[in-house]
Structure 1
Amino acid sequence: MAFSDHSGSHSTASAGGPVGASGHTREDLRHESFGELLSGLASDMSVLVKQEIQLAKVETTAKAKEAGKGAGMLAGAAVAGLLLLMALTTLLVVALDYVMPLWVAVLVAVVLWAVVAAALGLAGKKQLQEATPPVPEQTVETVKEDVQWAKNPTRSART
């Protein structure tokens, strides 16, 4: 590490590598004005924010692609399931036609599917209300780390 005592002598490590993202050594930073340091900090923060935004975009895009594939498969399964239910409904109506008038058999099938649709609709609505919106988890985690580092830059650099 590059530390100097108050007498002006420096340890041999003071000519070491860069300290920050800007590539400045500690000695370079000691000779910069407050305005220059503040400008460098603003620049570094700008780069950091841009990188976090890019990470969020990449993470969200990857999750959306996976969800799109799954949604397509579910849509195909839903169509097949609908065709199956239509065939089963026809079978139910034909079977009930043997013991009751046709119009009553159709009415029984309609009421049955109305009850099923209502139950599924209410359960689905409840599930959607409880669901949380998709969050780019990695980005949230790195932003938390960045905030922690900004609060204690020397401690977090050592850990």
Structure 2
Amino acid sequence: MTYTQPDPTQPKQPDKSLGDLFADLSAEFTQLVRTQVELAKTEIRQETDKLKVAGGAFGAAGVAGWMALLLLSFAAAWGLSEVMPEGVAFLLVGLVYAAVAAALFVAARNRMKDINLVPKDTVEDVKEDVQWARQKLS
């Protein structure tokens, strides 16, 4: 059996104490949590961008419904009033444009269903990290 001398220019590093090991573990865990928080922020930012698009769709649906109701309904109702009573013509036109506005609203609501503000990937990563930490500590 041969024994090799340590390099005299490099001091021997002592074994770490239990307190040092826990301090290292704490520092690494803190860094891990910070990284996970940054990942969660990124995911939430991506989802809020989708939310902005869906909100814009709701706005467009509202504006389109309002403009259609105001402008086209008068023209159509006056046109229909030539063949039916004026009140019935206005009611009929109002119902048609209400249906259009409802269809636009449903389309916008369906876009909202695709948006999830819970950062699923980060939640899964954190669960895995907690499980890993529990295994290491036990």
Q: Name the TM tier (shorter chain).
A: 0.5 to 0.7
Number of residue pairs the alignment of both structures matches: 127
Paired position in structure 2 for 1:141: 124
Q: Which residue of 2 is the match for residue 106 of structure 1?
A: 90
User: Is the CA contact 2:43–2:119 (under 8 Å) kept in the aligned structure 1?
Assistant: yes
TM-score by length of 2: 0.59
Q: Within the alignment, does 1:41 sit opposite 2:25 as a pair?
A: yes
Q: CA deviation at 1:51?
A: 1.2
Q: Which amino acid aligns with 1:64?
A: T
**More relative contact order in 1 or in 2 (CA 8 Å, sep 6+)?**
2
Question: Deviations for 1:5-26, whole angstroms, at most 9, x for unmatched residues?
Answer: xxxxxxxxxxxxxxxxxxxxxx
Q: Once structures 1 and 2 are overlaid, which stretch shifts more, 140-149 or 82-91?
A: 82-91
1:114–1:65 CA distance, 2 compared to 1 (3 A): closer
Structure 2 residue runs of 5 or longer lacking an equivalent are 1-12
Dislocated runs of 4+, deviation >3 Å: 75-78, 84-88, 107-121, 130-133
Name the aligned partner's letter for residue 143 of structure 1. V
Structure 1 counterpart of 2:9: none
- 1:104 is displaced (CA, Å) by 3.1
| 2:72 corresponds to 1:93 | no
Change (3 A) 1:72 1:120: closer
Which of 128, 133, 138 is the aligned partner of 1:150? 133
Superposed displacement of residue 44, structure 1: 1.7
TM-score calculated relative to the size of structure 1: 0.53
Within-5 A mapping of 1:43-122: 43-68=27-52, 70-71=53-54, 74=57, 75-76=59-60, 78-80=62-64, 82-110=66-94
For 1:146, the aligned partner's letter is D
Q: CA deviation at 1:88?
A: 3.7
Aligned mates of 1:83, 1:117 — CA distance in 2 = 10
